Structures are given as structure tokens and as C-alpha cells.
Amino acid sequence: MTTVFERIKAAIGPEMAGPGLAFVAVVLVFGIASPQFLSAATFGSVAFQLPELGLLTLAMLLPILTGGLNLAITFTANLAGLTLAWVLKANGGADAGFGIFLVGSLLAVMVGAASGVVMGLVIAFTRAHPILVSLSMMIFLRGLGEFLTRGGDISGFPPFVGVIGHGSVAGIPVPLIVFVVCVLAWHLLLGRTKLGFNTYMIGSNLEATRYSGINTRKAIVLVYTLSGVMCAIAGIIMLARFNSVRIGHGESYLLITVLACFLGGVNPFGGFGRVIPVFVALVVLQLLSSGLNLIGANQHLATAVWGILLVGVMILRWAVSRIKISIVRRGS
């Protein structure tokens, strides 16, 4: 019995405690406060809203695991979205075929990857701080997007694009399917591949990793490239959800993706953190937002509560570590 318990504990991991507890607390509090909360409608709206923030958070997760940060995610996503929009526009607008959409998506992914490659190269070869590199990339991409669109938005896409944003297959929203596939891909990447292993190693100790014969530069470039690719996927989903692209879309998500990662137990210095707890943390954030909405508060209050939740989890973690220390001291 205890071995089963231990194995489950090992499988879930210590990172799960924070988001898991927060999940239970949110469901309990809003379940009592609002009778409509525990309904299909709530979870349906969460399922549609989750992917936008979730995909961007996945893009943020990999750089954080290496001890860096990618502040350019939202603008990379929108620039990729713009690429797709231009391809659709140039080939018939609302009458464009599915093939055109696929070509546009491919180009969008390439644009996202290109932004990641540049950041990765600068970070890996000059050892400049990732915050600064991605920050200047962010300023550059925002400027580029504003320059190319004059700050306006592009809309008017074929009807099937709307299906990707709003449709469902067998009752499951299409964006959610895309998101869950990406979560599983990241989970496998980090848990089962050499690159994933190297990512954790680099986050723990870059120098030691390099001396152990791993090509850390290649790994860092790959990590930022994959981050850019995930941004592009987020950009395509955002295009389909809003049915338009503007360089400023989702700008407020930037710091919330970092918040979601930390809430999901990712170590801010890198090296530790897993995908599934981050996924649960995202669900908690969206449930909070929906719950507050039901009670009658607006999105801005939800933003504030997200911040308070992160502080709360951090204080709780501090308290637990203090209790553990005192127990160890008493025991010895």
C-alpha cells in the first residue's frame, strides 16, 4: 500500500502540490459561492480560453527551464499570425483554400522559428543575459509589426479558419485539442529526449553541462527555436480565435505566462519544473477568471487575484520549507 502511495507521489512530483492545492481550493470556493460554477458551461468556456494563454506559456516554459526567459513571445506569435494573414490575403482572402492555409501556417512557423534562432544564437554565443536579448527582440518585433501594419488589424479569413478557433470535434473544442497535443509533445520532449535532458542540465549548471561534453550552444539555440515555433502555433490559434490579427493582441499575457510557470512550480533559476503541473496551474488561472466573472467581477480583478495567488503559493512554499527545517532540527 505504501509503495503504491510512494509511486504515485513520485509520479506526480513535489511540483504538483502548489497547483493541485490551488485547484482544489478554487473549485471548492467557487463551487460554494456560485451555484452555476460547477457546470458544463464554465468548463466549456475555460476549454476555449485556455489554449491562447496555454500555448504562450509552453513557449515561455522551455527558456525558463534553461535559466533564461523569452519576453518576445507575444510579439513573435502576432508576427507569425500576420504572416499567415498576409498569405491568406494575397491568395483570395475569404475564398482562400485549405492548401493556402497550410502553406501560410508553415511560413508562420518558420517566422516564429527564425525569431527564436536569432535570440538563441545571440544568447548562446555572446552569453548576453536572455532577459536583455529577448527584451530587445521584443522591442524590435513590436516595431516591425507596427511598421508593417501601421498599428491596424487584418481580418477577413476563410470560414474554415473560424472553425479552428470556435469549432469542436466530438464535443471537444479544436483549440483545446491543439493545446493538449502541444502539452503532450512538450511533456515527451522534456521527459524522453536528449534535448529535454540537456535543457534541465543547462538550467542546473551551464558550465558543468558544457564540461561534460554536451554541445550547450546547440541545445540553447534549439530551445529558443522551439519556443519560437510554439509562439507561431499560438499565433495561428489566436488568429482563428479573434478572426483578426493585430500586433498588440495578447500583450497582457506576457507576464501572466511567467506567472503561470512559477505557479506550476518551475524554478525561476531553471533546471527544475515539469509540464503537467504548469498545465494544472493554467487551468486554475482560467477557472479563477471564469469564477470571478460569474460572481460579477471583471477581468482586471482576475488579474489582481492571479498575482495574489502567486504570492500566496510562494508564501505557502516558504512556510512548508520552514516547517520541514524545524522538523529536521528536532529529529536530529
Interface positions with other proteins (CB under 8 A): 71, 122, 125-129, 131-133, 135-144, 146-147, 150-151, 251, 255-256, 258-259, 262, 268-269, 297-298, 300-308, 310-311, 314-315, 318
Identify the CA nearest to 91 among candidates 6, 148, 157, 174.
157
- Compute the C-alpha angle 251/253/256, nearest 5°: 145
| CB closer to other proteins out of 144 and 189 | 144
Measured between alpha carbons, how far is 247 from 104 in angstroms, rounded to an integer?
A: 17
Entry field: residues in the chain: 332
Least distance in Å: CB of 221 to other proteins?
Answer: 12
| CB closer to other proteins out of 146 and 189 | 146
| CB closer to other proteins out of 129 and 192 | 129
Least distance in Å: CB of 208 to other proteins?
Answer: 16
Least distance in Å: CB of 257 to other proteins?
Answer: 10
Q: Is 193 within 8 Å of 69 (Cβ atoms)? A: no
Measured between alpha carbons, how far is 87 from 107 in angstroms, rounded to an integer?
A: 9
| CB closer to other proteins out of 55 and 122 | 122
Amino acid at 226: L
Q: Is 77 within 8 Å of 232 (Cβ atoms)? A: yes
| CB closer to other proteins out of 80 and 182 | 80
CA 289, 164, 41, 285: dihedral to nearest 10 degrees? -20
Measured between alpha carbons, how far is 193 from 208 in angstroms, rounded to an integer?
A: 20
Least distance in Å: CB of 150 to other proteins?
Answer: 6
Least distance in Å: CB of 298 to other proteins?
Answer: 7
Q: How far is CA 193 from CA 117, 124, 190, 198, 222, in A?
A: 20, 21, 6, 9, 13
| CB closer to other proteins out of 233 and 278 | 278
DSSP state of 38: S
Least distance in Å: CB of 194 to other proteins?
Answer: 21
